[in-house]
Chains A and B, each alone.
Chain A
Amino acid sequence: MFRYIVRRLLQMVLTFFGATFLLYALVFANQEDPIQALAGERPITQNVRQVLTERYHLDDPFLTQYWYYMKGLLTGDFGTSLTGRSISDMMAQAWPTTIRLALMAIIIAATVAIVAGVISGIRRGSIFDNVTLVLTLVILSLPIVVLAPLTQLIFGIKLGWFPPTTGADPGFFKLLMPALVLGSLVVATELRVTRTSVAENLRSDYVRTARAKGLSRQRVIGVHVLRNSLIPVITLIGVDIGQLMAGAIVTEQVFNIPGVGFNLFRGIRTEDGPLVVGFVSILVIIFLVVNLLVDLLYAALDPRIRYE
């Protein structure tokens, strides 16, 4: 086990460099005219264009640009955005907010998904099962660009239960509505997977054995079925944590949360290479760590799984 973890940590270092390289290549491929992109519709004079191009090395070849970037990164300097702001500052502001938001969303989503999924998995075809199916379909058929403003309108403005927007450095309550919306993005898949997994395990031989041995229904479900059913679910949750951090673009925009999704969107729109790569390198690290934890959890949940 220990050797496995060490090996995974070593892989991480390699993966990290691979990821930054790939990302820089993608950003470079996307970079056509960052100076105009930053200016929006305003005309740019030749002089300004020339100065900014040289200041940010925009006319250098790909490898040179990547070299400049990595040189900074290895000394802990994420560089500056094309607007002149320090990317480290931007990250210090954005990451805590987004991590809070994503964790809240994933906790809400996972709780709802596991509770509702287990119940509907046990009672397949019941009213509860069908109601959750319909709700799942409703969430699925409303894209986030519709769902988020609609939630804001109903609960933030009409009913006034929540503050309609969040703003910088928000507390738990302000993040609740965005977290609910964000969580709904992933709840459907997690719920259906839990349901299937539980239904499947209920039919397996070990449950029959346990029941035959006289174990109570609660104990069979609570200990044996749930434990074995959780493997696919935690896999999904692991993937979703990261995706909620990067993919909260629409949610962060609608609820005015200056987080990672917002910064990524801004960086991509203005073709701001250092900004995008900086944020995404952290994101890749998060994925690597979370997925390692998930893999270790497999072994904890199912003793038959061993890593050597």
Chain B
Amino acid sequence: MSDIQAATAEEQPDAAAPEPRHNAKRDKPRSLAADAWADLRRNKIFWVAAVLVVIIVTMAIFPSLFTSANPRACTLSRQHSGPTGSAFFGYDFQGCDVYARTIYGARASVEVGVLATLLSGVIGLIFGLSAGYFGRWVDAVLSRFIDIVLGVPFLLAAIVLAKRLSQDPQNNGVVAVIVTLGVLGWTSAARIMRSSVIAAKNQDYVAAARMLGAGPARLMMRHILPNSIASFIVVLTILLGINIASEATLSFLGIGLKGDAISWGIAISEAGPYVRVAPTPLIWPSVFLAVTVLAFIMLGDAVRDAFDPKLR
């Protein structure tokens, strides 16, 4: 059948390349990653996304580049008043500069969003890949563990984790929030990964590669992973947005960021009840959050396309 042949032909050079003959530098340009990078460089969407991500990360690291105002200088007399001077977006319910708070909010939100998602991604990848690839008792153990974790109510686990993790009164609770969201948010990603791997490992090209003598590690990394990562990446990019918003929920329950922490999620939730009186304090942080998620969705799409063997 034609697709077997196509797959075998495509994978053969890789599979045939024996490990010891790796002349590291020479082989690199033809590796998957190098091919992907060549693809990416030609992709406009990738560059738009990359520029956005760089701006957002700069904002998170050096907020003072974007505003000279102090986001914590608030007075009630300026409550909900319009834009003045450097406060382009006006003032919120507490009389704080919405622009300054949105800029300074980037740090906590991006930290939580990116790191918690990465943590979930790593756990989800390991669980999903192993359960899907090895099947049998490995799958049974890992999948039933996933079922249990799915059943544990988010709120309960978050309270218990936050209490254990944030004993130190000095930190602002970002690490606790990252770990909480990361440790509780990986189950969907893991199940998606598992399903894709189960579908992929029964494909003919995998059978072919196996017959040609590829070991489990090589099969997993070279043949199964690239063909099953698409949905996984999509789930993670959306999870990024969900995590940024969930931080606000945790903070509102008193188990998230502590003290006078500033984040988009907190700003959005605090502005919610007053949306009829003053919509801007709600709109701006939401826009920043949406653009951040958009940047990562585009980045995810571009990277996935670049790594997709079917497009080659």
Residues of A within 8 A of B (CB): 7, 11, 14-15, 18-19, 22-23, 26-27, 29-30, 133, 136-138, 140-146, 149-150, 153, 188-189, 192-193, 195-197, 200, 203-206, 209, 228, 231-232, 235-236, 238-240, 242-243, 246-247, 249-250, 264-265, 268, 276, 280, 283-284, 287-288, 291, 294, 298, 302, 304-306
Contacts and interface: CB of A to CB of B under 8 A. Distances in A.
B2 A209 contact: yes
Contacts of A280: 151-153
A287 B151 contact: yes
Given A140-B293, A142-B286, A11 B140 contact: yes
B216 interface: no
A298 B199 contact: yes
Contacts, number: 191
B199 A305 contact: yes
Contacts of B152: 19, 22-23, 26, 280
Given A189-B238, A231-B195, A232-B196, 4 more contacts: A19-B147, A142-B245, A192-B235, A242-B151
Interface in B5-21: 6-7
The 4 nearest A-B residue pairs measured at CB: A284-B151, A146-B272, A140-B241, A304-B202
Given A193-B231, A193-B235, A205-B3, A27 B156 contact: yes
Main DSSP-derived SS at the B contact region: helix
B304 to A, nearest CB: 7
A189 B188 contact: yes
A305 B268 CA distance: 45
Interface string B193-225: 011101100110000000000000000000000
Contacts of B310: 200, 203-205
Nearest to B305: A199
Given A192-B238, A204-B310, A146 B151 contact: no
Contact of A236 (B188, B248, B269, B276): B188
B110 interface: no
Contacts of A192: 234-235, 237-238, 297
B170 to A, nearest CB: 22
B275 interface: yes
Interface residues of B, number: 67
B165 interface: no
A11 B310 CA distance: 38
Contacts of A143: 245-246, 248-249, 265, 268-269
A89 B112 CA distance: 40
